[in-house]
Amino acid sequence: MDRLLRETVPERVSWNSRERRPWVGVLAPGIDEPEALAGLLEAAQRAVRSENLRRPGSPVRLCLALHEGLVSLEDGEFDGPAITAVRALARGVAPRRAPLLVVCSLRIFDDLAALGPPWLRPDRFRRLVDAAVPALAAEWDEQS
């Protein structure tokens, strides 16, 4: 699945190493962020669907956590408050049944809802209670 995501958005996202979980990507400066996020979300949907068609007995579950903020680059890895927030968002969600879960910090939710892809409707999101970072989440199943 990581290959599909990398191939779809290679010039838009710089990734930390996969050994460090959760796997974190940072959008490149100077790009159209709504377009890049739409591409990433659509690539994630396709990747999850493709993987789950190949492995029907052991479905893949993917959580995309979205936040904005400053990051630093230390020893070739992104770090900083925004990365800490993304990790908290990704780890703070309960297990789910849907193949794709999108968690979005309140900090960027309105922007993403206004400028993101049409299928990313604000009414699909629910507020996460007791999250380390104020956030909303929405699930997508195979038919969404």
CATH code of 71's domain: 3.30.70
Q: Nearest Cα to 32, choosing from 120, 122, 121, 115?
A: 115
pLDDT given at position 6: 59
pLDDT given at position 31: 83
- The pTM (predicted TM-score) of the whole model is 0.78
In the chain, which residues have pLDDT < 50? none
pLDDT given at position 99: 84
Q: What are phi and psi of 64, to 5 degrees?
A: -105, 120
Segments forming the whole domain that contains residue 97: 2-140
The answer to whether 125 touches 96, Cβ cutoff 8 Å, is: no
Angle between helices 33-54 and 106-115 (to 10 degrees): 90
What's the total number of domains in the chain?
A: 1
What are the counts of helices (DSSP H) followed by strands (DSSP E) for the chain? 4, 8
